[in-house]
Structure 1
């Protein structure tokens, strides 16, 4: 039976207090890994098996005792997670290219939880009890599999706002709630900004979806939607400022949101 990952609730302010730990939010793919008698299956959140696409990770996981792990597969460059490089890895289907990319663009499985060890179901253990079990299992890890580093306060991670995607805060006493977004785990994202040129739009019940030259779709509501629509109709285009999380391989913005029109 496949286990759904525990989900993160998005917040606009980090929770504070002694009952939380703080982890770096990596920008890659959330994965549940199953290890049984040296065989490895790695599942995406959508339930797709991608073990064969990350042989360098699967080979290391195969050395572990039977377990079920939760973590993020990332491609690291200068301690930053490169989402476009991760996309290239996870989208590759050609076996020869997969083998080549495992050497030229190696990935890392950053593991932040353990759900089962042998026959022992750990879901109802506290987070810190599971962390202790994970640390004993992995030690410091290696290039391809490693436990996530966590902190008692968010101060260090807040200082890295320009180089990381965000911060995850987790209650120390949280159990593993498979498939649920209970609020025991929350994510706080650092936002990037860009200026794009909207050249078209589609109307919606509450406003418009502006479309830029690369096909990015930005939802705009209320009076601002009317202003952007009018500018596109009259001038054929309008520059708008957006917030976004990351760029994809094709230059698209992940999770773009409208901020304002750019008035020259």
Structure 2
């Protein structure tokens, strides 16, 4: 089936490495803190799909006409982002995904409009071009797109991955992706052709309860599974909205969902373990540490996807 008509592309995966490096064989791009997104664009329509091929335009209607900034029928790989103070805000992205009222979505779109940043082109005018070298695809991408506030092309630097990584640390950005210059595009495949080095780790956790503190701060109690057993994995306060229980329709339960309840369990309001959240933190074997931050909540993951990583 034609790639454009099937709208079921699973994007190329990016391998994680801890140490940035310089290489004349690689280009380096900013890793944006958004939603990986495949864009299907032709002369009359825009269709945006996440990695699970779910439609995104119902939540980001302000991007429904970005096809007018392209030349020809094409499929792009990129990132859907919302900027706050010039920096991508993942929490705002995820908050939008949980809105189900059209008026609220349109209001949010006016307040914090989304943009699409394209970093690859996979298909042009009924022809798959994934076997072309990356730098050639980059050239075609720049020829196809007329940039606008809603649609941009990802910039890159050659060779200097360490320097770009140090810049992201200084600017408190997520990290860098290094890509081999001649790499082909492999659907749903992880290779060393594309490598990311991040300043912080993003992991999925189950929301198991919350604690209201005297200063008005709410702390979420986090868990992950080891097989089928739910384990306590710490708490997060930064980024937690005070009204999250209303916005995300959480269900209270009478007792702890953990076999081994943490010592502060007496203060907790326990929740049915069915809400998945994304936490950004410095890695630690015991769980989130180094001022963990709630980045948002996810509909595209189940609680059993939140498995402990040793």
Do they fold alike, i.e. is TM over 0.5? Answer: yes
Q: Which residue of 2 aligns with 1:262?
A: none
| Runs of at least 5 residues in structure 2 that lack an aligned partner in the other structure | 1-5, 203-218, 238-258, 268-285, 298-305
Deviation at residue 35 of structure 1 after TM alignment? 1.1
Aligned residues of 2:76 and 2:118 also touching (Cα < 8 A)? yes
1:210 to 2:244 alignment: no
Deviation at residue 192 of structure 1 after TM alignment? 7.1
- TM alignment of 1:50-199, pairs within 5 A: 50-64=56-70, 65-139=72-146, 141-152=147-158, 153-154=160-161, 155-162=163-170, 163-191=172-200
Aligned residues of 2:43 and 2:73 also touching (Cα < 8 A)? yes
**TM-aligned CA distance change 1:208 to 1:33, over 3 Å:** closer
Deviation at residue 160 of structure 1 after TM alignment? 2.5
Aligned residues of 2:45 and 2:65 also touching (Cα < 8 A)? no
TM-score normalised by length of structure 1: 0.76
**TM-aligned CA distance change 1:69 to 1:192, over 3 Å:** closer
Aligned residues of 1:243 and 1:257 also touching (Cα < 8 A)? no
Q: Provide the secondary structure at the position in 2 that maps to 1:13.
A: coil
What is the aligned-residue RMSD (CA, Å)? 3.6
Paired residue total: 236
Q: Provide the secondary structure at the position in 2 that maps to 1:87.
A: helix
Q: Which residue of 2 aligns with 1:23?
A: 29
Mapped to 2, the partners of 1:202 and 1:17 lie a distance apart of: 37
Aligned residues of 2:226 and 2:307 also touching (Cα < 8 A)? no
Mapped to 1, the partners of 2:263 and 2:82 lie a distance apart of: 42
1:248 to 2:295 alignment: yes
Which digits, 9 at most, give the CA deviation of each residue in 1:184-220, with x for residues without a partner? Answer: 1011110279xxx998989958x993343559xxxxx
| Runs of at least 5 residues in structure 1 that lack an aligned partner in the other structure | 216-228, 259-264
TM-score normalised by length of structure 2: 0.65
Deviation at residue 247 of structure 1 after TM alignment? 1.9
Mapped to 1, the partners of 2:264 and 2:126 lie a distance apart of: 67
Q: Provide the secondary structure at the position in 2 that maps to 1:136.
A: helix
